[in-house]
Structure 1
Amino acid sequence: MTALEPGVLVRAAAVALEHEPLPADQVRAGEPTTGMLVLDERDGHEIGVWEMTPGSATDTEVDEVFVVLAGRATVSFEDGPEIDLGPGSVVRLTDGMRTTWTVHETLRKVYLA
């Protein structure tokens, strides 16, 4: 699916995602993989479903708002706090934030970037 059309139902918590290993230079612990499905891209914005399996990895973020659907994780910010995520968590990230994601239970989110 590449477009989220009006009136089309997507079961974001259950949609199948193809996973790939993270680049070795990002992995801090374990063997995490990520999968994603872009639902729509318009006017420079992207809506999608993203998932990461248990492990720890670093990232440099883009402007994004997300809602956690399932799983548990801790996100540490290079110049800020540490937050614990679980179902229902809503978070805003800004471009350039440097983070470390430690996923305890496979984490799935819906995002707008």
Structure 2
Amino acid sequence: MSEFQSSAPHLVDVSTRTDLLNWGRQPNSIEDEFKAESHSSGRLIHKGPDNQPEVGLWVCTPGRWHLSIPRDELCYFVAGRATYAHLNGEVIEVMASTLVMFTAGWQGECTVHETIRNSYILL
């Protein structure tokens, strides 16, 4: 049975799968001209009515950008290393096996040090 044709949409091997779709350059980059911009790829698992909830797998290469999270988002990181710095100065370091709940309206910067891979749900 296909992994997408079940009563519970799912992906297997999320830490190693390579059949990801190119989601393009990460917007709001703040890197200087000598550094590469982050690029995203991933797989969408489910989108509900009006795109709520949205569930998927996201991979992002190193870089730095401004971030504003529009809806509650739960992220479970399975690989890589990144720093999320809130506008208020709070810093969240993420790596494999880190679970983070970003609340709607969270704003700051993300710096990806090593390509990150996470499963996410936007509520």
The TM-score range, normalised by the shorter chain, is 0.7 to 0.9
Structure 2 CA distance for partners of 1:110 and 1:7, relative to 1, 3 Å: closer
Q: Give the strand-richer structure, 1 or 2.
A: 1
Q: Are 1:37 and 2:43 an aligned pair?
A: yes
TM score, norm. by length of structure 2: 0.79
Q: Which of 70, 75, 78 is the matching residue for 1:66?
A: 75
CA RMSD of aligned residues (A): 2.3
How many equivalent pairs are there?
A: 111
Structure 2 CA distance for partners of 1:42 and 1:68, relative to 1, 3 Å: same
1:59-106, Cα deviation, whole Å (9 max, x unpaired): 111211110000000010112411110000000011111121100100
- Regions of 4+ moved over 6 Å: none
1:28-69, Cα deviation, whole Å (9 max, x unpaired): 123111112110123521110011101101111121111000
Q: Which of 7, 10, 13 is the matching residue for 2:12?
A: 10
* CA radius of gyration, larger in: 2
Structure 1 residue runs without a partner (length 5+): none
Structure 2 residue runs without a partner (length 5+): none
